[in-house]
Structure 1
């Protein structure tokens, strides 16, 4: 056992390479370090201590880092926090920093551009390589693409450079060992071209903002140091940041495509999980008055089950109108050049990045400011709510995008629930903050009535921040006309009050008045956030009530258009999809109706109307077995479980004689009152009688205790009619049932 080479330690290094006294991994002696593997995200590299000019020894990870790496090998797999705890994302192991150092740090010629005029510099000619340092031939500006720090160089008498990790638009990134804090790994970030005034300003901005930021999903800053350039003697600023040992989302996609056809992307659920993990970090920045400005897959790194936002070089104050604006073509919002960055433009970059992660498309060319259509991209055709979400997130009008990271995350979570439910048919219910549950199930006894269905649909939740929210919570009455009068006498008139007036008018069947009220709400041409009577430009509730009014009035096409607009604004909500399905069914569009009913029911079994609706449209199109399965999936805990089972019996009885017998078996297991059981039994017996073979053969089996013969079925049917006659409410009904019993009884010789 060799002695630990750390000063004042004196412990022994065990076979696993860790000291038995200080607990840290023993430093690797020069000449004994093994060759490092190829790094999956920064290219080929070698560990420190393997090449010329390396330091006499290399620091190990800190106690916490090495501990985390060891625990990762024994942790059981399972869902982590990513994707609201709904998605099982592959764990990315913590990477040993020694494997990430570039063996030959160099900026590729294709990425060498003048920082002043943007022209190509440092390019090869006639077979000769381009210069890494020199002057731009177009504007005379000096350029330099060489690392400013060399392995073994020590900054601030504390940070020992081990090599370059990567390079980017704003600077080289170096790996260093912090000798003052347990030899932990840190990252030093400097400038690619210190003569670029804008780049210097961006670096200083990153320094200021990083000092203020404290969020678990944003890279941490440890220190700021200045160090003299070894060639020019010029003082250069460096940011000392935590080392994030993982893989960027961009490199995950590159690895997938390298191993496949070149068009692979992340699974939609995984991409959504990453976006959901990042949105709170962006929301935090917005809350402290900062904009990130350059979100993209390159700037997100996963380590084990945690995501980190890196590279805050483009961060700026929300009210900053003078600093240089940094971003990336294909992700940057179209209004950046005219009105500048905003919260809306930050959220735009999330939408673009989510699209890039989920499917391949020319996001820097033909679709630089647009998305492919559902006809061209199967992912968008397969997940309609995801398509709608991306459409709103990347809308050209900033006013039509999501208003906050929190709102965006809320709708994206709803979309994720739908995506996951589609994958495995396991419901993923979630409580909506925008809609109530459905008020009552509709269509449980047959085709739905538009007026009754409108009364059963969910309704928008009252905004708790509205000045009249307290009044609305107590202003309840069962009579719609009285509700209209009470609401119009409210002590304060706000958007919420006016929308509740519209709702009451619709329920009172005063559709013309409701639509006039909505027209008046839409009259102001400019939105004033201080006016509580004017809805915001992205307020979807007026469209919801327009759809409801048109539905009650029998204008199904107009209602459908309004509900489509609502779905575009709140794509993660079930209520608008249920309304769309209803409109499609009433318009005799079974394909669309089935698609929307299926999404709602598959995701959340609380929407029982969707189960009955899906069964109806499936049955109408010949999908009898599928309809029975849907009705059978209504849970026993539902108050409509028995009604669903009765509907399943009727649906199954519509097949051949074998199906009728199976329906009778299902009926025997139901707990029904005497009248309902007798009525349903009579339906089955009558259907079986009509389905008997014409050749007079006798099928095997029995139906509700009756033989499957004409005599047996007629006798059973007679008994059912006489039983129903005894239970009849009026003499007229009793006489009619007795006549039916006499008409169906078997013929005899007596």
Structure 2
């Protein structure tokens, strides 16, 4: 058994991981390899990025290589998406308080909550006494002094105080003088607090998770005839998220400053699996907040488990913090979804300032009040669902929230630096087929019926009774599929949804609606709403479809599919601003949604954003089967037919260079070349003649362009499929040729 090589750890490697810090031992570095650097994000707000340049092949290779070495080149907390600066492990001795004292503004009666121990008329408040309202005894003094022995543990002093007790630093003389923490009670006369400590000992003996503080032991110590219990846990010598926020405000001089959004999300993504673990063993955390999470080096630790309780516990006192605690607590017992609420509230507190104790005690500010929520709509929708006042409307589990937050994380990070962050959806398939792809260089707006058969669909629920049956269905013809699905007697939501899609493919709108109306699902199942959206698209009702897709977006804010559906509906309704917004959100994050690139380009062209449309089309990766179509569309978007506003000689020359470099068959090259020269000819006739530069070998003068056009018309005539078409093209060539005496 090897010793952990990390400085100051002292743990041992078991099964490939340290039993103290929970990390893998770092890989040995060769003499020619420098240790990886770690950089932090310094800006608290993402910057707008409008460049859509596709990386070169070497850049793509580099990005892939960086992803494969995530554990060394990027911090664990960044999940390979962003860099989070490591927090040095603090020397335990530096954490000891010189004068341990509970601040007066944090002294409350543990029984009735009344303020106690407050100063008056210049005199300091009492640290020990009786509550003036209920007569309950309070005592905020530490019960252990430096040098005292509590069993095998030598007390070194107080390091913090919390809602349930003083926290002491100690040395474990029985185990290699390792640093440990003793957590006692803030008020030893409080029966509820004592019961919570006993409960903590019982529950936490079974907790084993790398993001949750380890509990080593439970000891008792007698003081003035009163026996007090102490929990012995690992020392976590990092910085709490609450203190990080304080530090940001001190350094910036802005008392409303918060953590960068990507950092706040990265922390939450690390916490949610720990919450899910607790829920999986029948426990609820109850009191999550930024105070209770510490970062040390590249790892988070969830601390202060005093409020943890069994999900079915109806007797123990319930602990929570105003502004974080779910509104139903008191009427209902804490549950996994009330923990989801506290995580959502804490995430909001980490990322933007608001009065969460009073004005927004059980609500959130809107986008009009908080710019961050206006900038990142998906993030706003995620917080709205996580902190919904109705528990049934929240994410059903920590895992479900994590899946959606992961998608939001990728979207926010992509918006920050313009680099796509694709990810695999756990809810939707990829696009069934790309839509809106021009078959020539002419832009192609797809019909809504085609879109309905192209958008992603929900992944089949493996637990559904009909999942195995659907896996064995091989019919592809919609009529045959309807017959096969209707013949089964299985009661299955998945079979119903597949039947509805078959009716949509047939154009049988009445039966599609009837099938969806008869599909019985659990509360909050978004799959029926998604299929209603597809059905409305097939009926050419973009307004109805958008309402359905909006409800799916509310439920799944991290998914690309509902945003793509909303973009299509906005474009079909003539709302180019929203079409731009939602196509952009999808394409900027994930370049596998090729339909979003062409949709965004159409929206930009419709708004007059010609050059950005060119950039978007050029950003379609060369690995895509639609890369060539995008390049041809970019050539046309740059020049435009008829004459585009702001078109310049440089645009024409660049378009000619791009077209000349494409590998095209004779037919497509002839069509594209004719179109480009027609645009150049129209530009020359409407503006200056004799501009510098050449386009496809023709100078930007009228006679040269006429000769070039004549040649391409004749080339097209040779490729014509009918005699009439050939004659028409020859006539065009004769009309455009330069006038001569011959």
TM-score of the superposed pair, with normalisation by structure 2 = 0.88
Please list, as runs of the form range in 1=range in 2, the aligned pairs for 1:296-311 lying within 5 A after superposition: 296-311=289-304
8 Å CA contact 1:84, 1:413 repeated in 2? no
Cα deviation digits, residues 115-162 of structure 1 (max 9, x gap): 122212212222221111112222221111111111111011x11111
2:461 pairs with 1:494: no
2:476 pairs with 1:478: yes
Q: Counterpart of 1:428? A: 421
Match of 1:208 among 186, 202, 207: 202
Match of 2:101 among 103, 106, 109: 106
Q: Counterpart of 1:257? A: 249
Mapped to 1, the partners of 2:429 and 2:612 lie a distance apart of 29
Mapped to 2, the partners of 1:452 and 1:63 lie a distance apart of 60
Please list, as runs of the form range in 1=range in 2, the aligned pairs for 1:217-232 lying within 5 A after superposition: 217-229=211-223, 232=224
Q: Counterpart of 1:374? A: 367
Match of 2:699 among 689, 696, 707: 707
Please list, as runs of the form range in 1=range in 2, the aligned pairs for 1:192-207 lying within 5 A after superposition: 192-207=186-201
Q: Counterpart of 1:3? A: none
Match of 2:399 among 379, 386, 406: 406
Give SS of 1:201's match: helix
Match of 2:714 among 722, 729, 734: 722
2:199 pairs with 1:190: no
Mapped to 2, the partners of 1:323 and 1:300 lie a distance apart of 24
2:586 pairs with 1:591: no
Give SS of 1:427's match: coil
Moved more, 482-491 or 553-562: 482-491
Q: Counterpart of 1:607? A: 593
8 Å CA contact 2:689, 2:700 repeated in 1? no
Give the superposition deviation at 1:67: 14
Aligned positions, number: 678
Cα deviation digits, residues 91-119 of structure 1 (max 9, x gap): 11000010011111111111111112221
Give SS of 2:373's match: helix
**Distance change (3 Å), C-alpha of 1:104 and 1:625:** same
Mapped to 1, the partners of 2:582 and 2:655 lie a distance apart of 28
8 Å CA contact 1:329, 1:368 repeated in 2? yes
Give the superposition deviation at 1:63: 7.0
Give the superposition deviation at 1:24: 14
Mapped to 2, the partners of 1:724 and 1:496 lie a distance apart of 51
Cα deviation digits, residues 695-714 of structure 1 (max 9, x gap): 87322332222233222222
Please list, as runs of the form range in 1=range in 2, the aligned pairs for 1:534-549 lying within 5 A after superposition: 534-549=520-535
Please list, as runs of the form range in 1=range in 2, the aligned pairs for 1:321-340 lying within 5 A after superposition: 321-340=314-333
Q: Counterpart of 1:510? A: 508
**Distance change (3 Å), C-alpha of 1:142 and 1:635:** same
Match of 1:383 among 376, 383, 390: 376
8 Å CA contact 1:257, 1:264 repeated in 2? yes
Give SS of 2:676's match: helix
The structure number with the bigger radius of gyration is 1
Give SS of 1:225's match: strand
8 Å CA contact 2:183, 2:232 repeated in 1? yes
Q: Counterpart of 1:139? A: 134
Please list, as runs of the form range in 1=range in 2, the aligned pairs for 1:283-322 lying within 5 A after superposition: 283-322=276-315
2:72 pairs with 1:84: no
Mapped to 2, the partners of 1:136 and 1:175 lie a distance apart of 30
Mapped to 2, the partners of 1:439 and 1:710 lie a distance apart of 47
Cα deviation digits, residues 341-384 of structure 1 (max 9, x gap): 11110111111100000101111111111111111111111111
Give SS of 1:86's match: coil
Give the superposition deviation at 1:390: 0.7
2:120 pairs with 1:125: yes
Q: Counterpart of 2:466? A: 468
Give the superposition deviation at 1:743: 2.2
**Distance change (3 Å), C-alpha of 1:185 and 1:563:** same
Give the superposition deviation at 1:558: 1.0
2:656 pairs with 1:664: yes
Give the superposition deviation at 1:734: 1.7
Give the superposition deviation at 1:658: 3.3
Give SS of 1:259's match: helix
Mapped to 2, the partners of 1:465 and 1:210 lie a distance apart of 32
Match of 1:686 among 678, 684, 687: 678
Give SS of 1:212's match: coil
Moved more, 360-369 or 115-124: 115-124
8 Å CA contact 1:268, 1:358 repeated in 2? yes
Mapped to 2, the partners of 1:674 and 1:433 lie a distance apart of 43
Mapped to 2, the partners of 1:401 and 1:91 lie a distance apart of 32
Cα deviation digits, residues 372-428 of structure 1 (max 9, x gap): 111111111111111111111111111111111111111111111111111111111
Give the superposition deviation at 1:721: 1.5
8 Å CA contact 1:61, 1:183 repeated in 2? no
Q: Counterpart of 1:43? A: none
Mapped to 2, the partners of 1:701 and 1:113 lie a distance apart of 81
Give the superposition deviation at 1:656: 3.3
8 Å CA contact 1:61, 1:184 repeated in 2? no
Q: Counterpart of 2:335? A: 342
8 Å CA contact 2:601, 2:616 repeated in 1? yes
Give the superposition deviation at 1:694: 5.5
Unaligned runs of 5+ in 1: 1-22, 26-59, 522-533
Give SS of 2:330's match: helix
**Distance change (3 Å), C-alpha of 1:304 and 1:694:** closer
Moved more, 77-86 or 290-299: 77-86
Mapped to 2, the partners of 1:693 and 1:342 lie a distance apart of 74
**Distance change (3 Å), C-alpha of 1:99 and 1:472:** same
Cα deviation digits, residues 653-698 of structure 1 (max 9, x gap): 1223432232111110011111111111111111211111568732
Mapped to 2, the partners of 1:610 and 1:266 lie a distance apart of 31
Unaligned runs of 5+ in 2: 13-19, 28-33, 39-72, 439-443, 641-646
Match of 2:144 among 138, 143, 149: 149
Mapped to 1, the partners of 2:679 and 2:313 lie a distance apart of 77
Q: Counterpart of 1:16? A: none
**Distance change (3 Å), C-alpha of 1:298 and 1:696:** closer
Give the superposition deviation at 1:450: 1.2
Select the structure with the greater relative contact order (CA < 8 A; seq sep ≥ 6).
2
Cα deviation digits, residues 535-585 of structure 1 (max 9, x gap): 121211111111111111111111111111111111111111111111111
Give SS of 1:399's match: helix
Give SS of 2:79's match: helix
8 Å CA contact 1:83, 1:272 repeated in 2? no
TM-score of the superposed pair, with normalisation by structure 1 = 0.87
Please list, as runs of the form range in 1=range in 2, the aligned pairs for 1:23-172 lying within 5 A after superposition: 62=10, 76-77=37-38, 78-156=73-151, 158-172=152-166
Cα deviation digits, residues 421-458 of structure 1 (max 9, x gap): 11111111111111111111111112222111222111
Give the superposition deviation at 1:239: 0.8
8 Å CA contact 2:678, 2:709 repeated in 1? yes
